[in-house]
Amino acid sequence: MKTEVAGNGKAEQGLDRRTIEKAYARWAPVYDLVFGPLFDVGRRTATNAATRIGGRILNVGVGTGLELPYFDKSHEVVGVDISEPMLRKAQERIEREKLANVKGLCVMDGANLAFADSSFDCVVAQFVITTVPQPEKTLDEFARVLKPGGEIVLVNHIGAERGLRASFERWFSQHARKLGWSPEFPFKRLSDWAEKNGSVRLVERRTVPPFGVFTLMRFCRDDAANAAPAAATA
């Protein structure tokens, strides 16, 4: 397994690279048991969306590789994750299930991807964007490595905007940090990012089971030739 490590993981909102590495080193032995079934519909939904795009797929935050068997075997998949213990589990799965379409696993920070611009048809991240120290920088990297016309597919718990659930998530967030997660992460942060980045637009947002607590989001990278023309200036 290639063990390239990029980025210094500057702390943001209490989530920093070391906290996340420590958290996922602890989760790795029991992750599949705890989060396997709970996240499975979301994981499959995002993988199906990525499969519809096909081509060369980058799976960021691949973890123990639970999603890897769901990709169409004719599509080339590369997986990256910041946690080496999680990736070791993914490597075991690739060997056990003979997933020849998975072309590589790399220890890599999603906020500093060591890939050339426009090198993937799809970037998919299942249950990842609220666990990274620098979400906007990470999403900028997703857009950079994506080919024009390609898609970023995310599935995640998104924080409630108001009501009891929003209050609970705000209170719980201080404890969740130690587990490597921001439960209060708002959708607005993603829509603001897309607007600021300028090369992508939201093409789908819908809730997925169980109980609609997870959200699937697809962002398409505009082909420069098809992008809406900029407003005329005097």
Binding positions for ligand SAM, rule: CB under 6 A: 20, 24, 35, 39, 43, 60-63, 66-67, 80-83, 86, 109-111, 126-128, 131-132
Question: Least distance to ligand SAM from the beta carbon of 229, Å?
Answer: 35
Residue number with CB closer to ligand SAM (5 or 194): 5
Could you tell me which residues come within 8 angstroms of residue 202 by beta carbon, excluding any fewer than 6 positions away? 190, 191, 194, 217, 218, 219
Residue number with CB closer to ligand SAM (110 or 150): 110
Question: Least distance to ligand SAM from the beta carbon of 35, Å?
Answer: 6
Residue number with CB closer to ligand SAM (103 or 167): 103
Question: Least distance to ligand SAM from the beta carbon of 14, Å?
Answer: 14
Q: Which residue has the CB atom at the shortest distance from ligand SAM?
A: 63
Cα separations (Å) of 63 from 83, 101, 221, 231?
7, 17, 25, 42
Question: Least distance to ligand SAM from the beta carbon of 58, Å?
Answer: 11
Residue pair 220/201 in contact by the 8 Å Cβ criterion: yes
